[in-house]
Amino acid sequence: MEYLVIVYDKPGTVRIPAAFNKGVTNCGAIYKDDAKTEFAGSSYNIVANSREEIIEFLKTDPYYKAGIWDVDNALIYPYGCAGRLAKDIVKP
């Protein structure tokens, strides 16, 4: 099953470079404002067997290990994708 996962950063934390993990179909940052001046957390689409498996996965991430993510309050929802378009994140 695919899940939509939103993990907020703990207040006052500073982000470190992310490591990409297996099982993620897409991911991205969540910002506090339209100008994208401050991170609020991260979003993922993850294929997993259960919410517990997702929590275990999140606890392997460098953001969790560095004390940045508030995994205890992560939002995890079953997700049905109606369409998906790839986006090139590298600008020429």
Q: What's the pLDDT tens digit per position in 68-90? A: 899 999 999 998 888 877 666 55
> How many Cα atoms sit within 13 Å of 90 on the Cβ side?
1
What is the amino acid identity at position 1?
M
Instruction: Pull the structure tokens for residue 46.
Output: 């993850």
Radius of gyration of the chain (CA): 13
pTM, rounded to two decimals = 0.70
Tell me which of 6-15, 23-32, 43-52, 81-90 is least confident. 81-90
Give me the pLDDT at residue 74, please.
Answer: 95
Strands (E), the chain: 2-8, 24-31, 39-47, 75-78
Domains of the chain and CATH, by start? 2-78 (3.30.70.1060)
Q: What is the mean pLDDT of residues 30-54?
A: 89
Contact 8, 29 (CB under 8 A): no
